[in-house]
């Protein structure tokens, strides 16, 4: 994750006064640390990842960054299996950094999870510059384009594609 993307996540979490954040794709914990820094002091980050090693690394990274153990909830598993078990309208922000081919499915689940005025952010929208190439594209890029089109055409969403890192699509639920 680029420093610019991390700073944007911190800002987004602070801008919605986030108390409850869901993260798809724990990774090594870098994005989670940025989100936690932007959240309210009593906020809890729920992070989902298929790889137990990622969650162990992130748990240690959060401790090393000075966050109490009760600030993060780690749920192992595939995002599309875990998300349906999370509370409707129970989250202020959802950050998606998982399988890009599943981003449209993540959008549907995120909109269910978010309170009105909540925000969902998708990392990697430029796909290393491939989303703007005019030639034949892999399925991943076509799915990202479909997501952008669906978000743009919705009257119930407000969105912006931020040119930080590899592209951060931010979507507010009205």
Distance between CA atoms of residues 151 and 14, nearest Å: 23
Q: Tens digits of per-residue pLDDT, 102-122?
A: 999 999 999 999 999 999 999
Q: Which of 173, 159, 158 is nearest to 88 (CA)?
A: 173
pTM (two decimals)? 0.96
Alpha helices in 39-165 (DSSP H): 52-64, 79-82, 103-113, 139-153
Distance between CA atoms of residues 133 and 37, nearest Å: 35
CATH code of domain 1-171: 3.40.50.150
Q: Across residues 3-17, what is the average pLDDT? A: 98
Q: Are 104 and 146 in contact (CB under 8 A)?
A: yes
Instruction: State yes or no: pLDDT of 2 exceeds 80.
Output: yes
**CB-based contacts of 49, cutoff 8 Å, min separation 6:** 25, 26, 27, 55, 58, 74, 76
Indicate the average pLDDT of the chain: 96
Instruction: State yes or no: pLDDT of 132 exceeds 90.
Output: no
Domain limits, the chain = 1-171
Q: Tens digits of per-residue pLDDT, 70-114?
A: 999 999 999 999 999 999 999 999 999 999 999 999 999 999 999
Q: Are 131 and 125 in contact (CB under 8 A)?
A: yes
Q: Tens digits of per-residue pLDDT, 40-55?
A: 999 999 999 999 999 9
């Amino acid at each position: 994750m680029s420093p610019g993307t991390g700073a944007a996540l911190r800002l987004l979490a602070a801008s919605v006064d986030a108390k409850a954040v869901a993260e798809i794709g724990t990774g090594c914990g870098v994005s989670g640390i940025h989100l936690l820094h932007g959240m309210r002091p009593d906020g809890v980050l729920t992070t989902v990842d298929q790889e137990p090693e990622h969650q162990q690394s992130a748990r240690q990274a959060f401790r090393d960054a000075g966050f109490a153990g009760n600030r993060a909830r780690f749920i192992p598993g595939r995002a599309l299996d875990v998300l349906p078990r999370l509370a409707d309208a129970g989250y202020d922000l959802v950050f998606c950094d998982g399988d890009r081919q599943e981003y449209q499915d993540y959008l549907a689940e995120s909109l269910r999870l978010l309170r009105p005025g909540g925000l969902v952010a998708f990392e990697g929208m430029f796909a290393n510059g491939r989303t703007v190439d005019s030639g034949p594209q892999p399925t991943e890029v076509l799915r990202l384009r479909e997501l952008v089109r669906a978000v743009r055409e919705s009257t119930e969403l407000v969105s912006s594609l931020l040119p930080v890192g590899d592209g951060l699509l931010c979507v507010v639920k009205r």
